[in-house]
Amino acid sequence: MQTATIKIKGMTCMGCVNSIKNVFKNVPGIAQLEVTLDPAQAIVQFDPADTSLSQLKEAIIDAGFDVVD
């Protein structure tokens, strides 16, 4: 398992947090997920054999948010 902290730009409310959580439900290999509004980030524990950090970031972007590198 690998853990990544992804900083997210554009979240303004708990609805945004729930949108991110819903997007990750469709991503394979996620073992644990924590999305917080303050700080605006997602902490994701995932299996690198099933998904990659770039796929996780792409899922956030597809949901309409920006990833801060």
User: 24-33: long-range contacts (C-beta < 8 A, 24 or more apart)?
Assistant: 24/56, 24/59, 26/59, 27/51, 27/55, 27/56, 27/59, 31/1
Reported confidence tier of residue 15, pLDDT bands at 50, 70, 90: very high
Strands in 2-9's sheet, in edge-to-edge order, are 30-36, 41-46, 2-9, 66-68
Cβ contacts of 14 within 8 Å, gap of 6 or more = 37
Tokens standing for 32? 């644990």
> pTM for the full model?
0.88
Is the per-residue pLDDT at 26 higher than 90?
no
Is the per-residue pLDDT at 69 higher than 90?
no
Percentage of the chain with pLDDT > 70?
Answer: 100
CATH-assigned architecture of domain 2-68 = 2-Layer Sandwich (3.30)
